[in-house]
Amino acid sequence: MGDAAAVLDALGWCPVGRHVVSVEVAGAGNMNLVERVTLDDGATLILKRAHGWVEKYPDIPAPIGRAGVEAAFYSVVSGSTAGAAMPAHLGYDEGSAANLFADLGAGSDGMAAYTGAAISGADLEAVAEWVRGLHALPVPADPRLTNQGMRALNALHIFDFPLDPANGFNVDSITQGLQEYADRLKQDAGFIAAVQAVKSLYLADLPGVLLHGDLYPGSWLTTRQGLFVIDPEFCWIGPREWDIGVLIAHLKLSNQPAESTTRLISRYSHPIDMALARRIAGIEIMRRLIGVAQLPLANDLAAKKALLDEAYSLVMDQ
């Protein structure tokens, strides 16, 4: 508690006359330390801090500047429809790599979708509305939002690590029998070339829109006030198909009805290159099944093989 309390006091983020009575980890964050701070009047705040590593995997270095990137994102969306469906951003301090947010209160993220829960039509449409509003914003000039450091880290785990024959990660430890299938993908030169082509697009600084960058069910919270999107530290300026492709992938990974994808695209309404969105979706499915960024999937071996078959077809445009 003392560390978080000290940060709030040092930055003047603790209201005058109030003091911290408790601090608890708020959710199972992967990238950052996220804490719920309770004050003596019962009010709560969310303190989010970046370190020079991935919070869940301290042996993986990560750009500490991501805290500033996130602050820049919130500054851009402030006052927009996208910003209204995100927690209020109350402060940023570069020296502490810290962001302060209003607490959304009781709510649940979308992770239950992977263990059999349906993503409601209302939640799906709210996410589609949010990303439509985000992609309609003027492209910001803030150079932090190119987010090159986080893109380099993400590219390693999306495009390279899952298909590296020497990665040392045996997916049989997750689902017995899946490693054989993963090894076949690692030896498929055509598939690897197609994945690397999308990697080149991901790392290129090309005209585009402001993207969330990691828009999956773990990045939204459903509360009594509605659905809110969080955690834009992987944001960047790029093709709108990125956010849509990632969403499509997770609708498939969570076994949502096929019409969910149609509903998403219809509500989103911006024109997109569906071939590119499908390739992105296929790569996201692949890396979530045979890479280190595992999900709490209920799928058995047969279901995962079927998903990898679909991922192959999406990437290869078959």
Classify 227 as helix, strand or coil. strand
Based on the fold, state whether residues 96 and 196 are members of the same structural domain. Answer: no
Q: Which domain holds residue 12?
A: 2-102
Distances (CA, A) of 12 to 23, 50, 67, 102, 212: 17, 19, 18, 15, 29
CATH number for 120: 3.90.1200.10
Q: In 3D, which of 8, 77, 16, 80 has the Cα closest to residue 49? A: 8
When pLDDT is averaged across residues 91-120 and rounded to a whole number, the result is: 93
Domain's final residue, options 102, 131, 163: 102
Domain's final residue, options 102, 131, 159: 102
pLDDT at 1: 46
Distance CA 178, CA 247 (A): 24
Q: Which residues contact 258 (CB under 8 A, 6 or more apart)?
A: none
The pLDDT-based confidence of 318 (bands split at 50, 70, 90) is confident
Based on the fold, state whether residues 19 and 133 are members of the same structural domain. Answer: no
When pLDDT is averaged across residues 142-149 and rounded to a whole number, the result is: 96
Based on the fold, state whether residues 136 and 91 are members of the same structural domain. Answer: no
CATH number for 66: 3.30.200.20
Question: In this structure, what DSSP letter does residue 255 have?
Answer: T
Query: pLDDT tens, 254-308?
Result: 999 999 999 999 999 999 999 999 999 999 999 999 999 999 999 999 999 999 9
The pLDDT-based confidence of 16 (bands split at 50, 70, 90) is confident
Query: pLDDT tens, 182-231?
Result: 999 999 999 999 999 999 999 999 999 999 999 999 999 999 999 999 99
What amino acid is encoded at 173 in this protein?
S
* Token digits of residue 147: 């987010």
Q: Give the lowest-confidence range in 15-24, 68-77, 124-133, 206-215.
A: 15-24
Tally the residues of the chain: 318
Distance CA 273, CA 266 (A): 14
Q: In 3D, which of 32, 20, 4 has the Cα closest to residue 230? A: 32
Based on the fold, state whether residues 291 and 197 are members of the same structural domain. Answer: yes
Based on the fold, state whether residues 50 and 155 are members of the same structural domain. Answer: no
The pLDDT-based confidence of 107 (bands split at 50, 70, 90) is confident
DSSP states along 262-294: HHHHHHH-S---HHHHHHHHHHHHHHHHHSSS-
Residue 27 has pLDDT above 90, yes or no: no
- What percentage of the chain carries pLDDT values higher than 70? 99
Based on the fold, state whether residues 75 and 202 are members of the same structural domain. Answer: no
Helix and strand element counts for the chain (H, E): 11, 10
pLDDT at 29: 67
* Token digits of residue 219: 């990045």
Classify 212 as helix, strand or coil. coil
Distance CA 194, CA 182 (A): 16
Number of folded domains that form the chain: 2
Based on the fold, state whether residues 237 and 277 are members of the same structural domain. Answer: yes
Based on the fold, state whether residues 152 and 301 are members of the same structural domain. Answer: yes
Based on the fold, state whether residues 168 and 133 are members of the same structural domain. Answer: yes
- List beta partners, residue 107: 223
Based on the fold, state whether residues 97 and 159 are members of the same structural domain. Answer: no
Based on the fold, state whether residues 79 and 155 are members of the same structural domain. Answer: no
Residue 28 has pLDDT above 70, yes or no: no
Based on the fold, state whether residues 73 and 217 are members of the same structural domain. Answer: no
Domain's final residue, options 87, 102, 117: 102
Stated pTM of the model: 0.95
